[in-house]
Structure 1
Amino acid sequence: MRTPSLLPAFGKLGVKPPVVIAAAPTLSKSMNSAALRMRKVLSAHGGLILKLSVLVWTILILAAAFFMSRA
């Protein structure tokens, strides 16, 4: 098997170590507590919320189709 050449073909590949960015997300306290509350609600009522969201989505699509057919 042929080994690749060590010439830099698109910059210096493999010479620099990869840059690791360890930026923590900046959330305010209210956003953090809202996210925690949302997580708790979804874990407790996830199936019901999914069914209701699919129902609302279906009604919106049918309403949009109805109004587009009337126009």
Structure 2
Amino acid sequence: MREPPLLPVFGKLGVKAPVVTAVAPTMSRSAKTMATRKREVLSSHGGMALKLFVVVWTILVLAAVFFITQA
């Protein structure tokens, strides 16, 4: 009968040195403008977006409760 392979060792002996990599930002120009536009839209319409999210979340929870109680 085959024996299962040994589990990896955790602790000081099993820790590998972290690999250090330097990553340069690779955002394209359109991505930067898109991020800027999204930030502006959220800053001007953030309250409305939050209220809409709360309404949608409440409807989803009520629908889930309704379908659970019908089963």
Q: Same fold (TM over 0.5)?
A: yes
Unaligned runs of 5+ in 1: 1-9, 12-17
User: Number of paired residues?
Assistant: 56
CA distance in 2, matches of 1:42, 1:26: 24
Moved over 4 A (4+): none
Give the partner amino acid of 1:58. T
TM-score w.r.t. the length of structure 2 is: 0.56
Unaligned runs of 5+ in 2: 1-11
TM-score w.r.t. the length of structure 1 is: 0.56
The equivalent of 1:50 in structure 2 is: 50
Identity %, equivalent residues: 59
CA-based RMSD of the aligned residues comes to 2.5
